[in-house]
């Protein structure tokens, strides 16, 4: 071991392996070495050509040949080449589309091989492109990138299987209203209905109900026109996924002159940045309602983040003592430590007498938010047709969120509401006390069992990243899992825009965590949008043993692209749902995994660090060590945090964290 | 169960259990307070109407039909299930709510969801 100070001896936790080696004289390292000799010169040549990442040696990972291929590095560092009609063969349809994406400043592409014409054209054009291990995870990565930045990102897969692999992620992005550009190749037009070769599927019907707009492009010379359709939808109103599929007749068509293409205009001519705004009478009406209210509250939805409207929002709250609570798939545009934050002021929301929903895209019904049933309601939304849906309104205003908030910030008078401020502060303090109470109980459970209760993991997470030496604003988090997700909802702090991503938001997806964390990691690595001040910082993903199985191989992807990630797995040997079979115990086995699986060892096999922890102290040390190494050396770590499924049993280990978070507020995943 | 015993000790040690409180009688005011608590704590599993038709939770109890309850359907049973939790997924709300008084309000609200005959029978006990 070359770095004993910073690195745990992972073999200490694996007595079986050591015993096996001592008794048989056989080890995996020896096996690999002997296998390498046996596989001949080609394999040896390949191994010797690989550039070692140094991680395997540095951290005493017992696999000798992990390395990043020289071809990867060479390709990744190549300068872009702009396509042009002046080139010998002009431009292909894929290149025309890629050029439009470049002009629209498409921020990133996440993909797996397939749809070659389009992804190669995008990469060559200079769109930052990332190739991973699974199309679904790459689509989650694009979603994560977009959630962390508010920018449009694309994902891509091959026609049949690659495309359908993305479905869960498309559904997730649709529920979260992410501006996700979904690309896929598709059977050639000439092959329709002929079962030609392989990978045939009709894509557009498959994404019905999961997109804002979709089109199978069947007329080659309209490819630029449909790029316009795509970006008009991605960058206007309420965002959502746009799905384009490309038959080869479109992607490989040749164009030598712009006149061969329909609607070949610049973006200023095929779409507008003009947005709806409230009239002065409407602003006056809102101000009047606020003035009459004693306890007003603004629910700052996803639209506030998407439109980067947090500054006027906070100004309004400060000027008029209006409570703030955020909602949506990304948290932080209402900082938890703001004096008017109601994010953890559970119960105080019930005494609010006026709620103003701004940019609330997933609209709850009365009863789903802890508000008084008779609360006066104002809703600000960028499109007219959604206002009044689910939640009855007293006033509806069609306006872009940022324009409305800026206008309101200019018009709202100063007002002190000391009773309301005190009530919020008292409710927040009570919430902290309750979380601490739950933590103390969980600590006792951990001491009793020698395993980590999920509430302990959640609190250690907060201790290290919010209360320790690390700037609490620095780290971007991705939160997933069922059992651990419910616990983390009490500790999932956020202090600045784009800081915390709630993977299961609305759609309830389990399994997008690692992919989404990778996407957010790319955003931080490049310092895009609200991530700019934290450029290069490690990102953290809290997930479960169930969820990580969907995406763990993307640690390979993270390593290749040098995105430092710390993935903390709450390992309770089961789907968090195992209790659902309580009344039909014959079904319990459907929810269980083998016990004590070593995800940390799998991580080592993927070329990243692995840590295995069973006590709160070990967990904290592992978190601190992993973060330090991620910061200083760019290394990623998977921390396998061992718990047990019985901690989810209300009768065996009663604990408040089993209850879902009260909405609106911290930990909300439904709306 | 050994853990139950330790829990009782823990409760005493850390004062984490809900404060003991005499039974709160069924009343319009108590039901109203219970309704607020229900909105905050119960709807994600039992639904807005208490019928537990939320599809992603398989094991939640239909609170409007006490004849389906397996562990008993008196007012005391309802109180006990809320306070101490039940089965695997029903949390013990003595760790979540502030007092037994709140548990009684919640109990009364749930009783209010029952069919009239069953509610009257439960209140007559």
With CA atoms as reference, the chain A residue closest to B96 would be: A656
- B67: phi then psi, degrees, rounded to nearest 5: -65, -20
The pLDDT tens digits of the residues spanning A262-308 come to 999 999 999 999 999 999 999 999 999 999 999 999 999 999 999 99
Candidates B40, B61, B80, B102, partner chain A, best to mutate (most A CBs within 10 A): B40
In this structure, what token pair is assigned to residue A447? 């001491």
The pLDDT tens digits of the residues spanning A206-228 come to 999 999 999 999 999 999 999 99
The pLDDT tens digits of the residues spanning A606-617 come to 999 999 999 999
With CA atoms as reference, the chain B residue closest to A444 would be: B10
Q: Could you tell me if B85 lies within 8 Å of chain A, comparing CB atoms?
A: yes
A367 and B43 within 8 Å at the Cβ level: the answer is yes
- Min Cα distance B85 → chain A (Å) is 6
- Give the number of beta-carbon pairs within 8 Å between A and B: 93
Q: Could you tell me if B23 lies within 8 Å of chain A, comparing CB atoms?
A: no
What DSSP string runs through A339-407?
TTB-TT-TTGGGG-SEEEEES--SPPPTTSSSS-TT-EEEEEESSGGGTTSSS--SEEEE--HHHHHHH
- Min Cα distance B77 → chain A (Å) is 15
Beta bridge partners of A244: A183, A215
Task: Please tell me the predicted confidence (pLDDT) of residue A44.
Answer: 37
Three-class secondary structure assignment of A131-181: ECCCHHHHHHHHHHHHHHHCCCEEEEECCCHHHHHCHHHHHHHHHCCCCEE
- Min Cα distance B75 → chain A (Å) is 20
| Separation CA A361–CA A574 (nearest Å) | 33
Task: Please tell me the predicted confidence (pLDDT) of residue A64.
Answer: 61
Helices (H), A176-296: 203-206, 223-234, 248-251, 267-270, 280-292
With CA atoms as reference, the chain B residue closest to A440 would be: B14
Rg, C-alpha atoms of chain A: 26
The pLDDT tens digits of the residues spanning A129-169 come to 999 999 999 999 999 999 999 999 999 999 999 999 999 99
Q: Is the pLDDT of residue A181 over 80?
A: yes
Task: Please tell me the predicted confidence (pLDDT) of residue A48.
Answer: 39
Taking a contact as any Cβ pair under 8 Å apart, which residues of chain A between 92 and 151 contact chain B? none
Task: Please tell me the predicted confidence (pLDDT) of residue B20.
Answer: 58
Q: Is the pLDDT of residue A99 over 50?
A: yes
Residue A538: pLDDT band (50, 70, 90) is very high
Choose the closest CB to A367 out of B7, B48, B93: B48
User: Is the ipTM here above 0.90?
Assistant: no
Q: Is the pLDDT of residue A259 over 50?
A: yes
The pLDDT tens digits of the residues spanning A374-427 come to 999 999 999 999 999 999 999 999 999 999 999 999 999 999 999 999 999 999
Task: Please tell me the predicted confidence (pLDDT) of residue A668.
Answer: 87
What DSSP string runs through A643-665?
--GGGG-TTTS--GGGSPPPSSS
A656 and B57 within 8 Å at the Cβ level: the answer is no
A659 and B93 within 8 Å at the Cβ level: the answer is yes
Average pLDDT rounded to a whole number, residues B51-59: 77
DSSP element (H, E) containing A41: helix A40-49
With CA atoms as reference, the chain B residue closest to A587 would be: B58
**B19: DSSP letter:** B
Average pLDDT rounded to a whole number, residues A85-107: 97
Choose the closest CB to A651 out of B40, B87, B94: B87
């Amino acid at each position: 071991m070359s770095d004993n100070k910073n690195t745990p001896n992972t073999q200490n936790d694996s007595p079986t392996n050591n015993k096996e080696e001592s008794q048989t004289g056989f080890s995996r390292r020896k096996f690999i070495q002997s296998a390498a000799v046996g596989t001949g010169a080609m394999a040896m040549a390949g191994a010797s050509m690989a550039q070692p990442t140094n991680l395997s040696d540095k951290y005493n990972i017992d696999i000798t040949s992990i390395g990043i291929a020289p071809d990867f590095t060479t390709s990744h560092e190549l300068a872009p080449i702009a396509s042009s009609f002046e080139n010998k063969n002009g431009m292909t349809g894929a290149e025309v589309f890629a050029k439009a994406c470049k002009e629209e400043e498409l921020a990133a592409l996440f993909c797996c091989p397939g749809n070659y014409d389009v992804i190669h054209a995008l990469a060559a054009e200079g769109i930052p492109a990332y190739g991973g291990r699974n199309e679904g995870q790459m689509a989650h990565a694009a979603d994560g990138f977009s959630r962390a930045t508010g920018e449009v990102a694309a994902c891509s897969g091959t026609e049949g299987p690659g495309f359908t692999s993305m479905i869960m992620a498309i559904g997730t992005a649709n529920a979260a209203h992410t501006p996700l550009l979904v690309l896929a190749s598709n059977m050639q037009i000439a092959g329709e209905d002929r079962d030609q070769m392989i990978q045939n599927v009709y894509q557009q019907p498959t994404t019905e109900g999961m997109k804002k707009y979709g089109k199978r492009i069947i007329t080659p010379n309209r490819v630029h026109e449909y790029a316009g359709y795509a970006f008009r939808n991605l960058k206007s109103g309420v965002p959502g996924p746009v799905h384009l599929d490309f038959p080869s007749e479109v992607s490989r068509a040749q164009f030598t002159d712009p006149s061969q293409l329909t609607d070949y205009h610049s973006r200023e001519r095929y779409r507008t940045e003009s947005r709806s705004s409230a009239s002065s009478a409407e602003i006056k009406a809102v101000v009047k309602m606020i003035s009459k209210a004693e306890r007003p509250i603004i629910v700052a939805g996803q639209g506030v983040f998407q439109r980067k409207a947090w500054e006027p929002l906070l100004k309004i709250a400060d000027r008029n003592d209006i409570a703030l609570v955020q909602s949506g798939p990304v948290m932080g545009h209402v900082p938890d430590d703001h004096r008017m934050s109601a994010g953890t002021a559970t119960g105080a929301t019930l005494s609010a007498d006026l709620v103003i929903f701004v940019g609330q895209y997933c609209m709850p019904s009365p009863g789903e938010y802890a508000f008084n049933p008779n609360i006066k309601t104002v809703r600000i939304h960028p499109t007219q047709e959604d206002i009044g849906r689910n939640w009855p309104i007293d006033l509806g205003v069609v306006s872009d969120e940022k324009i409305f908030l800026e206008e309101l910030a200019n018009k709202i008078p100063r007002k002190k509401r000391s009773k309301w401020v005190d009530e919020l502060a008292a409710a927040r303090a009570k919430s902290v006390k309750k979380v601490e109470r739950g933590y103390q109980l969980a600590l006792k459970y951990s001491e009793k069992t020698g395993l980590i209760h999920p509430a302990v993991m959640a609190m250690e997470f907060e201790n290290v990243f919010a209360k320790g030496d690390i700037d609490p604003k620095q780290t971007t988090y991705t939160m997933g899992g069922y059992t651990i997700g419910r616990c983390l909802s009490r500790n999932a702090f956020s202090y600045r825009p784009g800081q915390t991503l709630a993977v299961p938001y609305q759609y309830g997806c389990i399994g997008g965590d690692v992919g989404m964390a990778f996407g957010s990691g790319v955003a931080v690595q490049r310092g895009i949008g609200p991530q700019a001040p934290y450029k290069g910082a490690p990102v953290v993903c809290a997930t479960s043993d169930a969820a990580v199985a969907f995406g763990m191989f993307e640690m390979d992807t993270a390593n290749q692209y040098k995105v430092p990630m710390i993935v903390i797995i709450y390992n309770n040997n089961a789907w968090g749902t195992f209790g659902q079979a309580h009344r039909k115990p014959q079904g319990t086995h459907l929810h269980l995994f083998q016990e004590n699986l070593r995800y940390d060892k799998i991580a080592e096999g993927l070329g990243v660090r692995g840590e295995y922890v069973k006590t709160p102290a070990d967990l904290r040390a592992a978190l601190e060590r992993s973060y330090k190494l991620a910061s200083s050396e760019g290394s990623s770590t998977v921390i396998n945090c061992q718990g047990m499924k019985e901690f989810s049993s209300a009768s065996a280990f009663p604990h408040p964290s089993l209850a879902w978070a009260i909405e609106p507020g911290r930990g909300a995943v439904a709306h | 169960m050994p853990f139950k015993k330790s829990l009782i000790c823990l409760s005493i040690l850390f004062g984490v259990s809900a404060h003991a409180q005499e039974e709160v009688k069924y009343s319009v005011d108590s039901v109203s307070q219970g309704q607020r608590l229900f909105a905050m704590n119960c709807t994600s599993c039992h639904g807005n109407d208490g019928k537990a038709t939320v599809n992603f939770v398989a094991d939640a109890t239909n609170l409007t039909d006490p004849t389906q309850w397996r562990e008993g359907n008196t007012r005391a049973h309802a109180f006990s299930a809320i306070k101490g939790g039940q089965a695997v997924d029903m949390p013990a709300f003595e760790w979540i709510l502030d007092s037994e008084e709140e548990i009684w309000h919640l109990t009364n609200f749930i009783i209010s969801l029952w069919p009239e005959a069953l509610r009257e029978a439960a209140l007559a006990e």
